[in-house]
Structure 1
């Protein structure tokens, strides 16, 4: 918008300058035509009017049709130079017309060198016409030359200054255009990066919730179908687990679609209680021995979600890959962090060779909160997953700590 406004303003002032100059030029040309009509012979009058008509016609065509292939700016300046020389030869009242045409050399000359070249030609033509009209009088030529050169010098200084101002304005406009283009490219890049980050977050949430839930439903359904005849009670329990898992997945799907999750707000419910329910469900579905040591940690919603997702992903890996008999989950709070440790006595693996999405998703999820994930495992020795997340101090925690320290000092 700034560039468009600046361009419109420049175009407005350029058009206004052209119109103002055209009005002044026409007025002075009319004055010159009037002087020509009152002085000189009839032949000189018609010749003067013809020269003025040629200049006016060329200027009108150039102003009305700037892209005309016949009347170009340099053609108009050549006609102007010849007309000034002819008018100076025909009568002595055309100095005013010469002064009025000074801006035209800078308007149509394109470059300072071209403008000064045409200005020099116009000066020489005017002086030559005047000198020839006076019969070669050196005194008159000297007087005319001095006054003309003063006018030309002033015109050159003003023209160079105006050209410098225009050049600076053009450069400034170019820089503004480049700046806005760069800002637009950065904005587009940020939008693309934001969209990519959001897609990655959604993929991570879907993997940690819906995909894991559907995998659990498949495993439970296969087990229930295999035990329908031999263990109907066990199959019934597995069907109830399938129903519960499906309901939880439906709730997760609604939350993801509706973006109902509150970022950075207070946690909805106790983390320890939620983790306990997850562990009980896991033990019931898998028949593994699960030991949980869960401290009641207060944290914000995003930290709570990260802890739950990491626990769900780790337990899913245990179900699918570990072949473990015992799983341990420990949630503790340090002075400035909360730690989640999940261990199993399964077959283990080489962490550097893992190419799954789960571990990478957990690392990125914790990294977004300033935390880190450490996976320790080797073949035959089980697996230990440790997640550490920094806690944001709650309002008043510093005052409580200071009060406790003061109490201990007393």
Structure 2
């Protein structure tokens, strides 16, 4: 028997048996107390009963045998789920009770223990019935023989025993039903706990993966882009030095220092789970202007910026928009070969729209999205927005995304010093 196995169906209990191990373990303390109480009452009654000394001693010996059998066999069966020990205990129990009733006195008191233990330790209903019949027949014959050695009183005692047997069987069937229901509930609770643990583990794993993806996106959009800028600026500075242009090289080195400081701030923000440090100094609009200005200084590409104040735009949405602008400009730097970029941040109804349009190489048909664009799309989708990337070979690329924002009319400001590139009109 195994407590982890599913309980058998009610209609199969008589054939396949009921796994009582879990029920035994859960109710063993109660049965211990019941056994001790009944045996204690019986022992006191034996001592004060005016029986011959020999019978008193023999009755107490029987009690001792019964106690040892219960401790070694009965409790052992309950603790280990051992059906053989249970059957051995029931055999000792029946024999002791039959002999004890034959001695006279109040041995019938122990029948309360015997019948309840028979049904408690019987794995099958049919076994409980058979053990009950065996005990009843044995006690009836033993008691009748003690009263009338010629057997004349057997019929009278048999009637009383039959009533007791019916009561014992009804009680036993009730105990069996309680045990089955208890096992079924315990099994279902265990299954529920296992399902909850599995669900919690699944949610934890999903959370770990989501956090890993979030960190990967943050690192790609911040530190990786910053290191790319450092490499390109270092290469440019090296070229300037090779041509004897120390002043220009010094300017490049200044840009490298600025990018490195920004990367350090971004790294600290990532570790502390803060928002991008650029948003702490003037908000989204100022951060976008600084981003565009630095991009132009580092690459020599003309940048035209149109923006709005960021009042009413949530912090989470500001992060999405700033990261998208960083990634879009990084793609222009790495892939477009553009001479001009237009960056527009506009409020349109309940949405904030970001557009980055360049006049570079454009997109060939069927071009797959890289990690940066996939990360940008994931961010925008998570914010409830939409991302659209379009381009024509040789005619530039447009990255357009929108994220929902609280409906609030905001005044637009323009800091552009160059006219929009014609590509953005398409």
| Bin of the TM-score, shorter chain as denominator length | 0.7 to 0.9
For residues 148 and 382 of structure 1, what CA distance do their matches in structure 2 show?
103
- Identify the residue that residue 169 of structure 2 maps to in structure 1: 156
Change (3 A) 1:132 1:277: same
- Identify the residue that residue 139 of structure 2 maps to in structure 1: 126
For residues 170 and 268 of structure 2, what CA distance do their matches in structure 1 show?
75
Unmatched tracts of structure 2, length 5 or more: 1-20, 410-426
* Deviation per residue, 1:366-396 (Å, 9 max, x gap): 11211111111233232111111001357xx
Query: Does residue 73 of structure 1 match 2:86?
Result: yes
- Identify the residue that residue 277 of structure 1 maps to in structure 2: 290
Query: Does residue 207 of structure 1 match 2:216?
Result: no
For residues 249 and 106 of structure 2, what CA distance do their matches in structure 1 show?
117
Change (3 A) 1:15 1:142: same
Q: Map 1:100-249 to 2 at 5 A.
A: 100-133=113-146, 134-137=148-151, 140-228=153-241, 229-249=243-263
Query: Does residue 61 of structure 1 match 2:61?
Result: no
Answer whether contact 1:29 1:97 (CA < 8 A) is retained.
no
Structure 1: which 4+ aligned runs deviate by more than 6 Å?
7-10, 44-50, 67-71
Aligned length: 383
Change (3 A) 1:62 1:36: farther
Could you say what secondary structure the match of 1:278 adopts? Answer: helix
Q: Map 1:26-65 to 2 at 5 A.
A: 26-28=40-42, 31=45, 37-38=51-52, 54-62=65-73
For residues 214 and 328 of structure 1, what CA distance do their matches in structure 2 show?
24
Q: How many Å apart are 1:184 and its aligned residue?
A: 1.9
User: Aligned-pair RMSD on alpha carbons?
Assistant: 3.3
For residues 262 and 173 of structure 1, what CA distance do their matches in structure 2 show?
51
TM-score by length of 2: 0.79
Change (3 A) 1:326 1:71: closer
Q: How many Å apart are 1:30 and its aligned residue?
A: 5.7
For residues 32 and 150 of structure 1, what CA distance do their matches in structure 2 show?
26
- Identify the residue that residue 315 of structure 2 maps to in structure 1: 301
Change (3 A) 1:227 1:117: same
For residues 190 and 164 of structure 1, what CA distance do their matches in structure 2 show?
38
Q: How many Å apart are 1:121 and its aligned residue?
A: 0.5
